[in-house]
Amino acid sequence: MIEQSNPLLCDLETGMCETPESTAKGVTSKKVNSLSKPIKVIYYTDPICSSCWGIEPQLRKLKLEYGSYIAIEYRMGGLLPDWSYNSGGISKASDVAHHWDEVSLHYDMPIDGDVWLEDPLDSSYPPSIAFKAAQMQNEDLAIAFLRVIREMVFLQKKNISKWENLKAAAEKVGLDLEQFRFDFEEKAKRLFEEDLMLGRKLGVRGFPSLYFSDGQGNTEFVYGTRAYAFYEIAVLKLAPEAKKSEYRRNWEALFGKYPTLTAKEFSELSGNGRAEAVEVLDVLTTQGKLVKETTKNGSLWRRKMD
């Protein structure tokens, strides 16, 4: 029997992947300075956190509906330093494969756990540092980069701790590769360490962790992957005046905003039921407007480029 001590074995009840050294039972109140928008959100995540992949539909919707009120700051948490920390229970990467398949079904997000059998990662630190290097160039490109490497590891079974895969992702989103390599080997490592230190101060014990602050010392914390309403309520508690932004829910607009979407994401953002969402996406695929990438645990759609 596999023990829950391993960070890659996420608790499906709490929606959280916990760090190895986690001992915190709660989060103490910390003042987080806000940016120009009314609410700042510090989002602690990790590139290989399966529960963080599960939060993508809710997070994307939150950005569309409350993007004018919230500024999200992405921080890396260091989910898997290496395989030496474990004292028992799980001793090798292959033990994680079946769990990821279970997580995929639970969150209705495509994940192929066979990466842990075919090309397992030694650590999540390299992709975390790579994200910080991307972040140094451009925040939006960094978020796009994070999405690409997640698709690589969760759907394409690629080891994103390897430089060649990180480089390919950086090139795909349009980062300056020379600068990316330089920052990856230099300053990005220090920025990653700063993320880890801040996480310890905030009491982060797992991912996803979202800290909402209005800049006046008032905070709300959403721990783990939750239904969309939990995140919306956190915004409205700190900014009761916040109004939802209307956005276009047709497929062209949604794929224009987010180049790739899963069925769960398209359903969440478009307002279609889950079955109807798949039907719409499959029809668009048949019409040659979308390209469908299928895994053993679900699919991803991308807009076909002319």
Q: What is the domain-level CATH number for residue 61?
A: 3.40.30.10
Residue 241 in domain: no
Is 206 found in the same domain as 280?
A: no
Does residue 122 sit in the same domain as residue 193? yes
Within a domain: 243: no
**Within a domain: 240:** no
Residue 215 included in any domain: no
Q: Contacts from 32-37 at CB under 8 Å and sequence distance 24+?
A: 32/211, 32/213, 32/215, 32/219, 33/213, 33/215, 34/71, 34/213, 34/214, 34/215, 35/71, 35/73, 36/71, 37/68, 37/69, 37/70, 37/71
Does 122 map to a domain? yes
Looking at the structure, tell me whether residues 94 and 184 fall in a common domain: yes
Shared-domain flag, residues 157 and 279: no
Beta bridge partners of 73: 42
271 and 131 fall within a common domain: no
Residue-range definition of the domain harbouring residue 61: 37-210
What is the DSSP track for 2-47?
--TTSTTS-BTTTTBEE-TT---SS---------SSSEEEEEEE-T
172 plus 269 within the same structural domain: no
Mean pLDDT of the chain: 90
150 and 297 co-located in one domain: no
Judge whether 67 lies within some domain: yes
In tens, the pLDDT along 76-122 reads 999 999 887 554 455 678 888 988 999 999 999 999 999 999 999 99
Q: What is the pLDDT of residue 5?
A: 53
Q: How many domains does the chain have?
A: 2
Whether residues 45 and 160 share a domain: the answer is yes
What is residue 94's predicted lDDT score, i.e. its pLDDT?
83
Burial class (CB in 10 A: 0-12, 13-18, 19+), 25: exposed
Phi, psi of 204 (to 5 degrees): -65, 130
Using the predicted structure, report yes or no on whether residue 28 has a pLDDT greater than 90. Answer: no
For position 16, what pLDDT does the model report? 67
Judgement on whether residues 53 and 178 belong to the same structural domain of the protein: yes
pLDDT of residue 26: 39
Say if residue 202 is in the same domain as residue 260. Answer: no
Q: Are residues 143 and 277 in the same domain?
A: no
pLDDT score of 192 more than 60: yes
Of 205, 230, 190, 178, give the one whose Cα is nearest residue 46: 205
Q: Which two tokens stand for residue 230?
A: 């939990």
Q: Is residue 83 part of a domain?
A: yes
Residue 218 lies in a domain: no
> What's this model's pTM, rounded to 2 decimal places?
0.90
Q: Are strands 219-223 and 209-213 parallel, antiparallel or unpaired?
A: antiparallel
Examine the domain organization and report whether 171 and 258 are in the same domain: no
199 pLDDT band, cuts 50/70/90, is: very high
